[in-house]
Structure 1
């Protein structure tokens, strides 16, 4: 019995203990357990060896786990970078598509506007002649006047069409901003959600500004539409005007300077914006609207219009409380020249006696037959001799044949075969002193034309009326060489 007990303690028990540890490791893959060493004999050495092996396996597993975690982190980091790169590439691709779309739209709008302006030149010119020449009763005169006013409004719409493609041109004049506010409010009251209350504080007398009234109408309408969109459940839209005098020591807004200004404020109590949105609100292509509901160009165009008219625009907004856009335009100091109403708008006081010719010969180079006919009728009635050319090549031929008696050339800018600029260059080679009036549906500023450098003596913006045609031609002929 004693021998058996000693064998059990010295041999069987260590073997059983080692077997249990091996079974535990094999079953649970738990390499943190250790076999119990009972003696320093051969079984003790075996236990030490086994435990050392477990330690090495544990260390190996720990290293593998660490390497695995590092690999996962690197994969996650790389995946995040790839996602950011893909998102940025997608954003740039969308921006490029929007830019290409706007460029195509601008070209389309420009072509349509050019054709519209040609048509409006014929319509406005013939209406003006009809009012002047025909015997008419008061009712007929009123109808013709209404038609003329509609044609002028169509001309303004054509200019707004050009603005869609950011191909705007600027026609500043002195006017009262109350006129623009009144027109916009009248439109809004007919079209806006009746749950939105439009508030225009009692008008005060404000200074005149020198800006493009059509552009300011567009800018104000755009801001009011944005305010409407910010109040889907109704609210209050306020449009206010006031005079502002800012001194040197006053705290200026961004881009502001000392002086006298007319301030136009458009405020709402809608959703408002976060500071980050306010900082980017005037950036092209930036929009908070859903995809397909906005290109992010509206406020960028407003900013461009205001700055083009030498003004400033700022925004103050708080999330959940509303927004306020503030436009400031410099006060216009009126003088006698500025006080006069632009001739192209005064269609009712066509004064042939002050525009009459004395038999001078004028070459009209225009590919639109109706515009040529209109110009010929107007000028012949004023006492001019008119030669016509149907395109640029024909115009050069006629000028070469009749150069000695041609006093001035009215030259369309966009024509087949040869453009107006190509014809102009040829005419100036033939005669450096040639008197040329360039005409186009786009403004000279929009096309970045340097008229003095080109040798052009005047620019006739389409659509024009007979009074403007006669006045421009007479002014050119009266200039000394």
Structure 2
């Protein structure tokens, strides 16, 4: 109430003072209009035109003159010549009719430049219609006019752009009504713009099924709110079918809400026809290429078979040569032994026995190397610290390569452990160092390096490995190096570049087979005249490396405890006889079986069995591992010793044997077999 009373008092006070009334009206207009340049008050009966100080300063007029009063001619002196006639007409019109006045025109400001302004005011009239006063305000609309000009330019540019775009361009609202379209849209619809602007598909297409299909596609784009590309079949106005590649995107308002859709489409009818023709040609070419490839594969198969037979010939030739030499030593020694026994000459027998045993052991070593190459050797993998293995081998390596070869080691700190047969890795390392020594007849340096390496998909693919983390053991030399064709054949069995009688040609092939059987790989890098680097990559193992086992010497137990029984299963009678004889010499009770089913009958009986010795490769439906598993089901604590001529990795669970199970490889020393049997029985 106090505010209203104050306003009323102010109005009464102003009514008594005409000058204050003019100022108040200027202020009210300025507040209503926002940003202003100035205000005016024109008393029409007296033709007294007054302006405020801001108006005067903006147009370079003496403020005192503005308060005293100006003529209309003085006021419009700064109006742009092109706009002045329009200003005069607009003023005369509002005075004649009264009421609101608004007009835009250009005026010259203090800096001499013309700016757009808008004059807003009103003409108040007496009850008899006589014009009394004309207050107003000047607004700076230069920025707004610039924005409007830019908007008009952008609109014209957009219109030119969509008309220049080939194909169809249009925009729709959420209800499918076309808001804007180009000439291509008009040609596709076959109707004038007036017939489709502001209308949806069902209103401008005669084919209602086609209209429903197009509407569903557009609605899906707007509902998902994502840009999509699709092929649409549309019938032209003349009834011919056409295919269009449409790109559609949601149209959004300033708040991001989907309010419609924009789309462009290209006529790909001819392209689709060409694609169908090309597809038919491709199918014909593919058929012919398949025939050609099949023919080439047949030729390649024949060539591979030829190479395979050549490799087999090389392998069997090398085997025949080495085994014939060894068999000559074995059979010759046995024949001489037989002759001397028949003659009663027993003094010289030891050297024939030693010769036969030595030849047999060399044959066993040769077989072991062949199994290593074929990845069928029996491995005993354990978590291994390769740094420790290299350190333990270093002195042996130095003695082996001789004083004219320097040996350097570069060990990776915090090297990961790997799951590998450490004995076989030692053999591989020693073999690589011997090869390096032989490549440096005049001396040089061998460098042994260990490293952690992560192989991504590309690096692993180059090495025929699975991507992941690997431990690498590398041996480098400064020797003669290898040519590319030698590297290509380096892993072939019996291939060697050494002189006849030096080496068997199985060293690298054995290392390769061992690495592959251990889940790793071997890689050779060499430059003739500069040296060779051979790296063994082995998978990282998460567990800590096992500590080296202490050498425990078991004393002979003499005769076995009375009643201790061993079941021997082997399909080879000679091997079975030897094992049984060894056991009986030790005082064990033995039971024999020739295959798995026979052995299972014994196991299922009430007979005492303290140890099961079984060959892995058994006939008649059950291998040694299956017999062992079935025996463990009936006798959970039964100990099992597998005897095998090669490693059936799947049968032996890839080296992961259960507690109480061990493996011994044929051919075996009787002492090794005896020690293993006694240790397993003693651990009971």
- TM-score, normalised with respect to structure 2: 0.37
Determine if the alignment matches structure 1 residue 326 to structure 2 residue 540.
no
Determine if the alignment matches structure 1 residue 439 to structure 2 residue 641.
yes
Q: Secondary structure at the match of 1:406?
A: coil
**Would you say the 8 A contact 1:285–1:297 is kept in 2?**
yes
Which among 290, 295, 317 is matched to residue 504 of structure 2? 295
Alignment of structure 1 residues 13-24 onto 2, 5 Å: none
**Would you say the 8 A contact 2:326–2:363 is kept in 1?**
no
Q: State the distance in 1 between where 2:405 and 2:609 align.
A: 61
* Closer, same or farther: CA 409–264 of 1 in aligned 2, 3 Å: closer
Q: State the distance in 2 between where 1:309 and 1:273 align.
A: 26
Find the counterpart in structure 2 of residue 388 from structure 1. Answer: 590
Q: State the distance in 2 between where 1:173 and 1:280 align.
A: 31
Determine if the alignment matches structure 1 residue 257 to structure 2 residue 477.
no
Q: Secondary structure at the match of 1:404?
A: coil
Find the counterpart in structure 1 of residue 456 from structure 2. Answer: 247
Alignment of structure 1 residues 84-103 onto 2, 5 Å: 95-101=315-321
Q: State the distance in 1 between where 2:386 and 2:326 align.
A: 28
Which among 368, 375, 381 is matched to residue 163 of structure 1? 368
Find the counterpart in structure 2 of residue 59 from structure 1. Answer: none
Find the counterpart in structure 1 of residue 441 from structure 2. Answer: 232
Alignment of structure 1 residues 274-423 onto 2, 5 Å: 274-334=483-543, 362-365=565-568, 367=577, 368=579, 372=583, 387-389=589-591, 403-406=605-608, 410-413=612-615
Shift in Å, 1:180: 2.4
**Structure possessing the higher relative contact order (Cα contacts under 8 Å, 6 or more residues apart):** 1
Shift in Å, 1:411: 3.1
Determine if the alignment matches structure 1 residue 222 to structure 2 residue 431.
yes
**Would you say the 8 A contact 1:315–1:325 is kept in 2?**
yes
Find the counterpart in structure 1 of residue 414 from structure 2. Answer: 205
**Would you say the 8 A contact 1:284–1:296 is kept in 2?**
yes
Shift in Å, 1:263: 1.2
Shift in Å, 1:261: 1.1
Alignment of structure 1 residues 59-78 onto 2, 5 Å: none
Shift in Å, 1:96: 3.3
Find the counterpart in structure 2 of residue 270 from structure 1. Answer: 479
**Would you say the 8 A contact 1:106–1:164 is kept in 2?**
no
Q: Secondary structure at the match of 1:166?
A: helix
Q: Deviations over 1:314-368 (max 9, x none)?
A: 1110110000011111110117xx86988xx79599xxxxxxxxx9985444754
- Consecutive unaligned residues of structure 2, counting only runs of 5 or more, are 1-308, 330-361, 555-561, 569-575, 665-671
Alignment of structure 1 residues 2-21 onto 2, 5 Å: none
Find the counterpart in structure 1 of residue 148 from structure 2. Answer: none
Compare CA radii of gyration and give the structure with the larger one: 2
Shift in Å, 1:221: 1.0
* Closer, same or farther: CA 108–308 of 1 in aligned 2, 3 Å: farther
Shift in Å, 1:446: 2.0
**Would you say the 8 A contact 2:567–2:609 is kept in 1?**
no
Higher mean C-alpha deviation, range 222-231 or range 162-171: 162-171
- Consecutive unaligned residues of structure 1, counting only runs of 5 or more, are 1-88, 110-156, 350-358, 377-385, 475-481
Shift in Å, 1:290: 2.2
**Larger strand share, 1 or 2:** 2
Find the counterpart in structure 1 of residue 395 from structure 2. Answer: 186
Q: State the distance in 2 between where 1:405 and 1:189 align.
A: 56
Q: State the distance in 1 between where 2:313 and 2:553 align.
A: 53
**Would you say the 8 A contact 1:413–1:438 is kept in 2?**
no
Q: Secondary structure at the match of 1:200?
A: strand
Q: Secondary structure at the match of 1:198?
A: strand
* Closer, same or farther: CA 105–220 of 1 in aligned 2, 3 Å: farther
Q: Secondary structure at the match of 1:183?
A: helix
The number of aligned residues is 308
Q: State the distance in 2 between where 1:248 and 1:390 align.
A: 53
Shift in Å, 1:469: 4.1
Shift in Å, 1:466: 5.0
Q: Secondary structure at the match of 1:286?
A: coil
CA RMSD of the aligned region, Å? 5.1
Q: State the distance in 2 between where 1:401 and 1:200 align.
A: 54
Shift in Å, 1:297: 1.6
Q: State the distance in 1 between where 2:448 and 2:642 align.
A: 36
Higher mean C-alpha deviation, range 232-241 or range 163-172: 163-172
Q: State the distance in 1 between where 2:541 and 2:458 align.
A: 23
Q: Deviations over 1:69-114 (max 9, x none)?
A: xxxxxxxxxxxxxxxxxxxx999866532132456689999xxxxx
Q: State the distance in 1 between where 2:609 and 2:414 align.
A: 49
Find the counterpart in structure 1 of residue 384 from structure 2. Answer: 175
Shift in Å, 1:250: 5.4
Q: State the distance in 1 between where 2:615 and 2:311 align.
A: 39
Shift in Å, 1:460: 3.3
Q: State the distance in 1 between where 2:603 and 2:414 align.
A: 60
Q: State the distance in 1 between where 2:385 and 2:450 align.
A: 10
**Would you say the 8 A contact 2:385–2:546 is kept in 1?**
no
